[in-house]
Amino acid sequence: NLNDVNILVVDDDADTREFIAFLLEQYGANVTAVGSADEALAALKQSLPDVLLSDIGMPDVDGCMFMRQLRKLPPEQGGQIPAIALTAYAGEINAKQVLAAGFHKHIAKPVEPSELIEAIANLLETLRCV
């Protein structure tokens, strides 16, 4: 379960954003959901999440560009937040590009609920052990 885990969801598609937020809240997470990289950067100024989930295919600033911007920030501004990429472009954008941008993991859309929950739990567990 994800009790009291703070998660920032970034996706320009409102339906996907709401579905993921609803799903995560069912597992006890505290979710902030935003529709763009700019909104995400603004949200990060308010509070830092434990995990970031970001869509890759977004207009203006895509997920990889956003992650590269984020990774340039100091840790206290969110530069080291654990991050999972969500993408419908599994074929076009390969995992290497996603990982090179600074994501820890990549999950293909449509998101399989159990896979997403497990990925978040595993990521948090792995990072706690470091």
The pair of three-digit structure tokens given for residue 99, joined into one six-digit string: 């990982």
Please state, for a pLDDT cut of 70, what percent of the chain lies above it. Answer: 95
CA dist 43 and 56 (Å) reads: 18
Residue 75 burial (C-beta neighbours within 10 Å; 0-12, 13-18, 19+):
exposed
**Predicted pLDDT of residue 64:** 94
Counting residues of the chain whose pLDDT is more than 90, the rounded percentage is: 82
Residue 95 has pLDDT above 90, yes or no: no
The stretch 3-7 carries a mean pLDDT of: 96
The two beta strands, 83-87 and 30-34, are: unpaired
Q: Which domains does the chain have, with CATH numbers?
A: 6-129 (3.40.50.2300)
Residue-level pLDDT at 89: 66
Burial class of 9 by CB neighbour count within 10 A (0 to 12, 13 to 18, 19+): buried
pLDDT digits (tens, 9 = 90+) for 37-92: 999 999 999 999 999 999 999 999 999 999 999 999 999 999 999 999 998 766 65
- Mean of all residue pLDDT scores within the chain: 93
